[in-house]
Amino acid sequence: MQEKHISVVFVVDDEIVISKSLAMILEGHGYMARFFTDPLEALKHVEVDPPDLLISYVVMPQLSGIDLAIQVKAHVSDCKILLFSGQAATAHLRDQLREQRHNFTLLAKPVHPTDLLREIERLETSP
């Protein structure tokens, strides 16, 4: 069985500084990263250029990162999901995701680039 590597990454955060900065960091490490500040816009691009990994902030207007992740998985079943949220909400969201049987990785914001890259490497090697 051939291991699937992550190459196309969608970064979604309603704060442009965060989404653009994370995309630039990822591009510097060899990923093709696209950043979005509107989750609905990211969803439109899923069908055109399906991502191998979605990195999304959870709390956003129009569509939460969790709902975005669920819809992306519906279109691209093997897409890996990495969500991040404010520290206070992270524990509650982790429990909610488990209850709904979603296997999404959840990190606390702010996410240090080294931690993000380490988590992406972990996702690349996980089934």
Q: What is the pLDDT of residue 106?
A: 83
- For the chain, the average pLDDT equals 86
Q: What is the pLDDT of residues 111-124, one digit of tens each?
A: 889 999 999 999 98
Q: What is the pTM of this model?
A: 0.88
Write the pLDDT tens digit of every residue in 35-85: 999 999 999 999 899 999 999 998 888 898 888 999 999 999 999 999 988
Distance of alpha carbon 111 from the chain centroid: 12
Tokens of 64: 């939460």
- Residue 91 clears pLDDT 70, i.e. is over it: no
End-to-end CA distance of the chain: 11
Question: Looking at residue 89, what is its pLDDT?
Answer: 56
- Give ∠ CA 60-11-27 in degrees, rounded to 5: 155
| Range 26-33 average pLDDT | 95
User: In 3D, which of 27, 80, 25 has the Cα closest to residue 50?
Assistant: 80
**List of residues 6+ apart from 8 with CB closer than 8 A:** 31, 32, 34, 49, 50, 51, 52, 53
Report all structural domains of the chain as residue ranges with CATH numbers, in order of start.
8-125 (3.40.50.2300)
